[in-house]
Amino acid sequence: MSDYKSEFLKTLSDRGFVKQVTHPAEVDAYCASGVPVGYIGFDATADSLHVGSLLQIMLLRHLQKAGGKPIVLMGGGTTKVGDPTDKEKSRPLLTDEQINANMEGIKKAFQPFLKFGDGPTDAIMVNNDDWLSKLGYIELLREVGVHFTINTMVKQDTVARRLAAEQPYTFLEFNYLLMQSYDFLELFRRHNCRMQIGGSDQWGNIVGGVNLIHKAEGGDAFGVTAHLITTASGGKMGKTADGAVWLNADRRSPFEYWQFWRNVEDADVGRFLRLFTELPLDEIAKLEALEGAEINTAKVRLANEATALLHGEKAANESEAAAQAVFTQGATAAALPTAEVPTADLEAGMLVAAAFAATGLTESNGEARRLIKQGAAKVNDEKVTDQAATLSTADVVDGSIKLSAGKKRHALLKPA
RNA sequence: GGAGGGAUGGGUGAGUGGUUAAAACCGCCAGACUGUAAAUCUGGUCGCUUAGCGUACACAGGUUCGAAUCCUGUUCCCUCCA
């Protein structure tokens, strides 16, 4: 399938990750010998990662599995500046505490995918604030600035487009390239990291780092970029009704995560199986070949594999069982997302709409009322028709009340 | 420093004194059809204790019976000139 010799590049290439590689032959050789070290940078603007970052996580996982050492670079320092890449609106600046808290949360998302530690191929997490905040301006100019020419920087796609459109392009944004290139240089020095991986939108920044290392240290460094993923219908990956599909379990239950994968579009199944699971390619080919309703088998497999990677096999199995129960038998299942409500509220007669809002199925009582009006709200599988309907302790079946918003979204309400 | 333009609901973006909780499009939710898919069609899309009430068109005041629309100040953004 591909000409690559190294396990890492071969895997990436065969599974359809790779978009561009700086020096294919050299990178291949590097990855095939010893312990290749590679890093990917992550933003610290939220306290959890969502499915949109999963591709990058998988890249690092493949690196580790292929005998390499993955470095997770947290953009603690760059977050202080604000990534201008998708500019439009400047983001609110975060405090150190917020950034640190975010990094703690994000680290959790990595745990299931990477083995962290002190061993030679153990993953490590570093924060670019460690060096960026100490870097003096003069130092930056002398060490980094001399190696970049305005001539080439203005030719960069993103820059050129902004200039051509006569859009403002701030000095800060212009320097983002320098900071990210400097990150690479710093990791090269500290950890002998010679490979940066990223989405294809990072190509310019990655090449910047590669060149900097060459000029500053005379070292050889490489870059690999992966295709940006969108859904088959062109949507952004990982966004649904209630916002992002978060990886951390406290923000998105395993069942919901499983459902996310179960509901991908037909056209995405094969691609997603290759990117987000570790099933052998020949098995994926078989699953992908299924047609019509048969393809649901492949989706279940995708959901199981993807959920198992993040939440473990047990959670995946429970989710599948729950889905089975809910969708094919219309029963309730314990694995559904659950919200607790004071028993006193139920005894007093809780509005059905309020109950929906409490489980997070809807954002407000009003939204729940709309569902009721449209005949999409169910309590214990009974359609609710009255917007003023209330729940009582009599509705509790087997210790909980099952609420359904439409056919796909379900939750349990437990008296506590 | 000077001159001008702008800030509207998740996004783009109409609206220039009352009929505007605010067009249209996108997104999103639901219903129908299906396979828990896509496409398509239909309805919905600020909140609440919903025949009503409360908030809302950057922020704070003012004019008016009545303001997203007019006036004043403030903040932020942009363009051109220096």
pLDDT of the residue at A334: 73
Q: Is the dihedral of CA A274, A275, A279, A281 positive or negative?
A: positive
Does any strand B atom come closer than 7 Å to the Cβ of A230? no
- Asked if the model's pLDDT at residue A90 lies above 50, the reply is no
Strand-pair category, A377-379 with A195-199: unpaired
Read off the pLDDT of each residue in A214-227 and give the average, rounded to a whole number: 91
Neighbours of A382 (CB within 10 A): 11
Specify the DSSP element, H or E, that contains A160.
Answer: helix A157-164
pLDDT of the residue at A14: 93
Q: Comparing A33-42, A99-108, A301-310, A403-412, which segment has the lowest mean pLDDT?
A: A99-108
- Asked if the model's pLDDT at residue A72 lies above 60, the reply is yes
Does any strand B atom come closer than 7 Å to the Cβ of A231? no
Q: Which of residues 351-410 of A touch strand B (CB under 7 A)?
A: 351, 353-354, 357, 363-367, 369-371, 374-376, 388, 405-409
- pLDDT, chain A, mean: 85
pLDDT of the residue at A85: 41
In whole angstroms, give the CA distance from residue A140 to residue A210: 17
In whole angstroms, give the CA distance from residue A279 to residue A361: 33
List the structure tokens of A34: 């010893």
User: Would you give the end-to-end CA distance of chain A in angstroms?
Assistant: 57
Give me the numbers of helices (H) and strands (E) for chain A, helices first please: 19, 15
Q: Comparing A47-51, A219-223, A365-369, which segment has the lowest mean pLDDT?
A: A47-51
Q: Which of residues 237-276 of A touch strand B (CB under 7 A)?
A: 239-241, 259, 262-266
- Asked if the model's pLDDT at residue A98 lies above 90, the reply is no
Nearest nucleotide relative to A377: CA against C1': B30
pLDDT of the residue at A156: 72
pLDDT of the residue at A87: 36
- CA dihedral in degrees (A52, A53, A57, A62; nearest 10)? 50
Residues for chain A: how many in total? Answer: 416
Helix axes A54-65, A269-276, angle to 10 degrees: 50
| Closest to A33 in 3D by CA, of A295, A264, A222, A255 | A222
pLDDT tens for A248-275 read 877 778 898 999 899 888 888 999 999 9
pLDDT band, very low/low/confident/very high, at A178 (cuts 50, 70, 90): confident
* Phi–psi pair at A286, nearest 5 degrees: -65, -45
pLDDT band, very low/low/confident/very high, at A307 (cuts 50, 70, 90): very high
- Asked if the model's pLDDT at residue A190 lies above 70, the reply is yes
In whole angstroms, give the CA distance from residue A8 to residue A6: 5
pLDDT of the residue at A88: 35
pLDDT tens for A338-395 read 888 888 888 888 889 999 988 888 888 988 999 998 889 999 988 888 888 888 888 8
pLDDT of the residue at A252: 79
